Structure formats: structure tokens, C-alpha cells
Homo-oligomer: A and B are copies of this chain.
Amino acid sequence: MQTFTTVAAMQNWCLEQKRQGKTIGLVPTMGYLHQGHMALVREARASCDIVVVSIFVNPIQFGIGEDYEDYPRDLGKDSLLLEQGQADAIFAPSVKEMYPPRYNSFVEVIGEMSEKLCAQSRPGHFRGVTTVVSKLFHICLPDIAFFGQKDAQQAMIIEKMVQELNFPLRIERVPIVREADGLALSSRNVYLSAEHRTQAPVLQQSLQAARELIQSGERDATRVKELIVQTINSSPDADIVYAEIYDAGTLADVQEISGRVLIALAVKFGTTRLIDNLIVEV
């Protein structure tokens, strides 16, 4: 496994792989890898000749007062995990390498999909994501790029960007990986206190309760959301950022549940913000 830290070296290596007729799978990450990331790596390993994993904590997707400085980093441990996971290359550039002085180029998906859920509480976040992902696509030239379903809105926006800007690749979404008690894996879980950690599975519990309610015949999105809020609020320290139900393809508003809907949550425990989601089809 090779590690690249410059754009030129990574891009030249990927161009050479393409010249040799190899397919490239890209797993973009912010590092501090967990088994959710490794599920993406396994999918990439299974379907592509070459697996490239990028590790870059992308400053322009963090807002003022967010956890950019504190975001956990451990390139040594990540490298060991990726070696075991049989990745072929790591791309771990510096911030200066990705955003040189006077950097001014941005990629943006505007409209409904980019104005709801996390966009409400994290203005500019998705522009930062679409910009860095565009750069990574140009540098690493993937045939397939792998994203986790945990960041459902991110995956939707990136899929829309790929389709509309005609990137020559496809996106594969990989299901959420969970702890035994149901908590969705996240690099941010390390921030949780012991007490908050015991409460955090309430996110998934509320999603399951919502699914059961829908499966029992409830079609009123408001009533389902009420159950979610009630369930989460049974945890003393849970502070709901949002609990919404939207069309799973477009994020359009949903009053009466039909087709595929995305139930999406963001909940804070102290300063730690967790997200989770579930797609339900009726």
C-alpha cells in the first residue's frame, strides 16, 4: 500500500492505473476510521481493481464554532486498518495542498435538497463537501465512489452533483454499520461521555419505532414525527436538532407517507452532534 500526500503524485498514479485499464474505487473519508469506513473499503475491494482511500479533514465543510480543530485524527492507526483492508493507496494531503493561498473555486448543488436537514444547522457545509469531493474525483479518477448511507443527505447531494455535472463515474451507497446496541458508527462517537454513550442508541430506537408505526398503517408524517420526538425525549440528555420525514429521492416535503421516505435525525448530547436515518418504503 502506498501513501500519497501531493495532488500531482496521486493524480499521476491514478492516471497510470487508468492507462493500464484498471478500474478505480475511491473511498473518501475524514480519517479516524471505524468499521463503517471499512465496510466501504470492503465494497470497493470487491468491485474495483484498485482501491484508493482519501483521508482529509476538509476545513471548508466545517462552520465557525464547529469541531474542525478537535476532529479526531490518527493516520498511523488508519494506515494499519487500510493495510489490513487491502487498500492499494491512501491519499492524505495537507490543507495547503488542497487549498493553496487565494483558493477560489467551488462546486455547489443548490435547491431544496441542499437547504434542509443538516444544511439548516450547518450553512456552507454541503458546498464544502461537493467542492472537496469534486477535487477528489478529479485527482483519484474513480469508476465508482463509495459513500455511507449514514450521511444520507450528503450521498443524495453527491449523487445529484455526479449526475448533473456528468462526472464519468457512479456512486455506490453502503448501508449504515452499527454497534451491537444500535448506535450508528461515527468518528464523533469518541466525543460522547459514558452517560451519553448509554443514551445514544435512542436515535435508532426512535427510527425503529417510527418504522413499526408506519408498517402498522400510519401514513400521517406528523404523527410519526411526534412518536420519534417522544421516543428521543425519553433520554434525559438528548437535544433534538431535527427529526424529519422527506421524500427519499428529492427531500421534498411529505405530509402523507407514500413511496420511499427518508426519516432523518440529528440529536445533540452535550456538544456532540449525532445523525442517523432510515429509509422506509410503503
Contact = CB atoms under 8 A, between A and B. Distances in A.
Nearest to A130: B105
Interface in A108-158: 108-111, 113-114, 130-131, 134-135, 138-139, 141
Interface stretch (A13-21, A44-52, A175-183, A253-261): A13-21
Contacts of A139: 166, 168
Contacts of A100: 164
Question: How big is chain A's contact interface, by range?
Answer: 20 to 34
A134 B130 CA distance: 14
Interface of A: 7, 11, 15, 18-19, 21, 100, 102-111, 113-114, 130-131, 134-135, 138-139, 141, 160-161, 164-168
A138 B111 contact: no
Nearest to A106: B108
Given A105-B161, A106-B109, A135-B166, 7 more contacts: A7-B166, A100-B164, A104-B109, A104-B164, A105-B109, A107-B134, A138-B165
